[in-house]
Chain A
Amino acid sequence: MMLRLAMATLARRRARTALTTAGVAVAAAMLLDMVMLGSGMRESFRGFIEQQGFQIRLTPRGTMPFDSEATVGGGAALVRAVATDPDVVTVAPLLGAKLFSRTPGDSVVSAFVLGLDPAVQGDYVLVEGRDLAADDELVVNASYLAATGRAVGDTVQVAAGYDAQMRRVTGARTVRIVGRARFVMLGGSERAAAMRLAAVQAMGGRDRADRLSVVLVATRPGADIESVRRRLEASDARVSALSTAAALQLVDERLGYFRQLAFILASVSLAVGFLLVTTLVTVSVNERIGEIAVMRAIGVARWRIVAQVMAEGVALSLVGATIGMGLGLVTATWLNGILAAFPGLPAAFDFFFFEPAAAFRSLGLLVLCGIAAGIWPAWRAATLPIARTLREEAVA
């Protein structure tokens, strides 16, 4: 009967209850989105790095992975040296460079080209055509095809350098597009191509001879990755070795500011939810102060009043959190669509990552806030001086 009284109170002020519930739902949605945002980017990076299937990456010392044009020379020797480590099973050398392609209309389009060994690469997934088999072949992504007006099977003139003023190219050669692929680390809007490593090196002339940007290393299952990493780093003073775990940690550090922001906004959402529920419950208690005094006068126990008032807060935050969960997922999907269209981001990059445990934890926290929000108004209602309140009600 007490529970019915509490629910009847909410039902009596339908519009107000609905508005507050909506407010709590928005706060819950925001909270959920921020929690999802906090881990989304890291989880996306983890996905990419793990998808490549390599546990260690060697980069020119002093540079960060993913963001440098720096290269290291003596590539072949480096790869051979790394391969001699007993715990290393695969070595995948990579060289990133610019690639200029001539369109049928005789203009020039620039793209990013990865020089690699197609037998051990983890950078693209073939969608159409076949993989690289010779030095004069090219695998490209859809953006490249769209920008150059080419199709799989076409022959295209490419170059390593292009002087726009003089309209002069360097390191030119004629290649055939043999396949279309999705490049996992690159944005869908970014024009990308892959060639055999030797071809990319050769096109660059002496500047690029035997140079590498990254060497990806896969270890034997069960190997102690950290000790392999240390060995590799110690063996060559020109490179840094970074394990997947360390790379993720780096990403984590870089995203720290971002996550902090998400955390702050999540806390604000919680506070907003708390204040909304406190406000509504306080207003509701003030409105019913006479009724509550009467209940106390006819012998309803304090804790029953407390339970009744708090039930209102709990009901509000439970319903609000449930609606907010759906709302949060919808807005996350929507925002993800907008953010993923940013240039320079991998196509499959997710800003929002739905982790059921974290989602339920955060919404549980919101419901706890709802419970806490009811405590003060409930206690105030339960301890009011009965005689004086009745008298004031009679005067009002």
Chain B
Amino acid sequence: MREIVLAARDVRRDYPVAGEPVHAVRGISLDVAAGDWVAIVGPSGCGKSTLLNLLGAIDRPTTGSIAIRGRDVARMNDADATRFRLTGIGFVFQRFYLMPTLTAAENVELPMAEAKLPRAARVARARELLAYVGLGARADHRPYQLSGGEQQRVAIARALANRPALLLADEPTGELDARTGTEMIALFDRLNRDGTTIVTVTHDEELAQAARRVVHMRDGAIVDQVLRRPLADAVPAPPHAPGTAQA
């Protein structure tokens, strides 16, 4: 049996707003196995981003539990949660969010430097990751010298830097044109085939269709799940693949 990387149980998130609080997520339970690729879809405002932030330990649920590789991230203090995000989770944002003053390679090195990886090792891994996302020749360019698609590739390389157990992406194709978006989907597909466990939130029908499982949300709850490609035929990841979670 495959390891369950992510197990969310009855997760709720209320935003305290003046008057009636907003119940953004109302009791979601979700399991994600190692090597899976889940796409969360649903109308705007149904709570997708809120859920993803909870799964990634950058926000805390009002109630419920979220275990990632057996550790309850909902109960961690800030220092532990920060450490967990650094080594256990890779984030990709709709707007890329690279550090504008750092080069592409330095952006990829940033989480590794924070994790105290020796300089030589992180320089080598940054090169390897940039080559993997097809930007081997752009390592010394700064974000403003890169197109949106290229910036998003750098952001993906950065997310994979510390070999996270889980890659989370919120609308990764949202700011890209159709062709670049298709290339991005191909990259996610390759990552998943190489063993990376992925959860994406998207409006992009094409991105959703590429995932193994599509989870439909409405009003803060899961209303439907569609299994498109069962995990059984997933190829086990070669241990050296850039996106592979550390054993």
B86 and A298 contacting across the interface, CB-CB below 8 Å: yes
- Interface-centre pick from A9, A302, A394 (highest chain B CB count, 10 A): A394
Contact with A along B38-82 (1 / 0, CB 8 A): 000000000001100100101100000000000000000011001
Determine the residue in chain A with the shortest Cβ distance to B85: A299
Q: Which residues of B contact A304 (CB under 8 A)?
A: 114
Stretch at the interface among B103-111, B200-208, B223-231: B103-111
Within 8 A of B (CB), among A357-396: 385-387, 390-391, 393-394
Contact with A along B81-104 (1 / 0, CB 8 A): 011111101010111010111100
A/B pair count, beta carbons within 8 Å:
78
Stretch at the interface among A34-42, A105-113, A288-296, A310-318: A288-296
A8 and B101 contacting across the interface, CB-CB below 8 Å: yes
A1 touches which of B78, B91, B113 (Cβ 8 Å): B113
B111 and A299 contacting across the interface, CB-CB below 8 Å: yes
- Contact A302 to B79, CB < 8 A, known contacts A1-B113, A5-B99, A387-B53: yes
Counting CB contacts under 8 A, is B212 at the interface? no
- Contact A5 to B82, CB < 8 A, known contacts A299-B111, A387-B53: no
A294 and B49 contacting across the interface, CB-CB below 8 Å: no
- Alpha-carbon gap, A294 to B94, bound state (A): 12
- Contact A387 to B58, CB < 8 A, known contacts A298-B86, A299-B85, A301-B82: yes
Interface size class of B (residues with CB under 8 A): 20 to 34
The minimal Cβ–Cβ distance linking B19 to chain A, given in whole angstroms, is 18
- Alpha-carbon gap, A385 to B59, bound state (A): 8
- Alpha-carbon gap, A2 to B93, bound state (A): 22
Residues of chain B touching chain A, judged by Cβ–Cβ distance below 8 Å, are: 49-50, 53, 56, 58-59, 78-79, 82-87, 89, 91, 93-95, 97, 99-102, 106, 109-111, 113-115, 158-159, 162
Residues of chain A touching chain B, judged by Cβ–Cβ distance below 8 Å, are: 1-2, 4-5, 8-9, 11-12, 290-291, 294-302, 304, 385-387, 390-391, 393-394
Q: Give me the 3 closest cross-chain CB pairs, A-B, nearest first.
A: A299-B86, A8-B101, A387-B59
